[in-house]
Amino acid sequence: MGHRTTGDYPWSVAADTELRELAPPAFTHAVPALLQVYEAAMRPPPEQLPGRASIMNGHAYYPGFRSVVAVRGGEPVGFAYAFHGYRGQWWHDTVVEGLRADGRARQARRYLSDPLEIAEVHVHPDAQNQGVGRSMLYALCRGRPERTAVLSTRSGPSAARHLYRSCGFTEVLEDFSFPGSPDQPFSIMAARLPLTGSGGRRPPGRSVGWPWTGSR
């Protein structure tokens, strides 16, 4: 796979697995291979895959895009990506509106005024439960200037929710249905950056006036 190597990459996750950061052109080139990981991890209806590909290709050029791919034996076994959330983006506006409609305008301001939006985190079943997902999540969030990270995950207990909670994410909106998917409730989760357990270093560019109280 083509990839951009930064000062931090490749990172070694395990003896046979490393993380690489893909810049947008390399990421879009890799989308077909990444979709195979997505398909194995999420088991979506096959007809959804073309739409997913075009969403991922579009996300690659959102501001602040960062992607991390876990590679084993030259093949991707996991991927995750995120970007800076802005008003005008579908997910961002939908979640802000959902929080406001639920009487949580304060949480909307707190969590979505300067967010890193984590769009996807997936690990192939053959590589799950080996620390790959956690490493990718930390790599995505490391050194980011945003105040918070936000994401949606399916409602109910899951490995994903366990992972996010253990990194400091909490539920800010439960059983939220995105337009067009009324039967698939999601939880919106958010965390202050840097993530719990990631070393606690404050990245340059972070507002010193961030009024975080610690009470969520």
Ligand X SMILES: CC(C)(COP(=O)(O)OP(=O)(O)OC[C@H]1O[C@@H](n2cnc3c(N)ncnc32)[C@H](O)[C@@H]1OP(=O)(O)O)[C@@H](O)C(=O)NCCC(=O)NCCS
- Which residue, 2, 1, 20, is CA-closest to 10? 20
SS3 of 133, please?
helix
SS3 of 171, please?
strand
End-to-end Cα spacing for the chain:
41
Q: Which stretch binds ligand X (CB under 6 A): 46-54, 104-112, 124-132, 194-202?
A: 124-132
Report the alpha-carbon distance of residue 98 to residue 121 in Å, rounded. 23
- Which residue, 184, 55, 176, is CA-closest to 120? 55
**Which two tokens mark 12?**
């070694």
Report the alpha-carbon distance of residue 18 to residue 9 in Å, rounded. 9
- Phi, psi dihedrals of residue 94, rounded to the nearest 5°: -65, -40
Q: Which stretch binds ligand X (CB under 6 A): 20-28, 84-92, 129-137, 173-181?
A: 129-137
Residue 129 makes contact with ligand X by CB under 6 A: yes
Residue 210 Cβ vs ligand X, minimum distance, rounded to whole Å: 26
Residue 153 makes contact with ligand X by CB under 6 A: yes
Residue 121 makes contact with ligand X by CB under 6 A: yes
SS3 of 34, please?
helix
Residue 10 or 145 with smaller CB distance to ligand X: 10
Total residues contacting ligand X by CB under 6 A comes to 19
Residues in the chain: 216
Q: Which stretch binds ligand X (CB under 6 A): 27-35, 94-102, 151-159, 204-212?
A: 151-159
Residue 134 makes contact with ligand X by CB under 6 A: yes
Q: Which stretch binds ligand X (CB under 6 A): 2-10, 58-66, 107-115, 128-136?
A: 128-136
Choose, by CB under 6 A, the member of 22, 30, 35, 41 that binds ligand X: 41
Report the alpha-carbon distance of residue 8 to residue 205 in Å, rounded. 19
Choose, by CB under 6 A, the member of 128, 143, 178, 216 that binds ligand X: 128
Residue 72 Cβ vs ligand X, minimum distance, rounded to whole Å: 12
**Cα of 118 vs its chain's centroid, Å:** 2
Choose, by CB under 6 A, the member of 159, 174, 197, 212 that binds ligand X: 159
Residue 140 makes contact with ligand X by CB under 6 A: no
Binding footprint of ligand X on the chain (CB under 6 A): 41-42, 121-123, 128-134, 153, 158-160, 162-163, 166
